[in-house]
């Protein structure tokens, strides 16, 4: 059984580490009307500098891991 317990602990540690790496909840999006294109409103993340275009509202997660600006 010790092996099973060690395995469970390892999975939990990896899960926590992976979640910490994403940093999605640290992002704070700010609307940038000057960069908007029609119905698409430009948002800048003031935390990591990522850019995103959305027509439905503020992005709910960070785009920094996807090369910055998103292409709908
Ligand atoms: Zn960000």
User: What's the pLDDT tens digit per position in 13-22?
Assistant: 888 777 665 5
Both tokens of 8, joined, read 């469970």
Residue 28 confidence (pLDDT): 87
Distance 30 CA to ligand 1 centre (A): 10
Alpha-carbon gap, residue 51 to 60, rounded angstroms: 13
Q: Is the pLDDT of residue 64 over 80?
A: no
pLDDT-derived band of residue 35, with 50, 70 and 90 as boundaries?
A: confident
24 alpha carbon – ligand 1 mean position (Å): 7
pTM above 0.75, yes or no: no
Task: Name the residues around ion ligand 1, CB cutoff 5 A.
Answer: 27, 45, 47-48, 50, 62, 64
Give residue-wise pLDDT tens across range 47-61: 888 888 999 888 887
């Amino acid at each position: 059984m010790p092996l099973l317990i060690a395995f469970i602990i390892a999975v939990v540690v990896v899960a926590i580490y992976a979640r910490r790496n994403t940093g999605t909840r640290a992002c704070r999006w700010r609307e940038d009307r000057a960069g908007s294109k029609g119905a698409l409103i430009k948002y800048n993340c003031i935390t990591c500098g990522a850019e995103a275009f959305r027509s439905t509202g503020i992005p709910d997660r960070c785009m920094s891991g996807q090369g910055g600006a998103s292409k709908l």
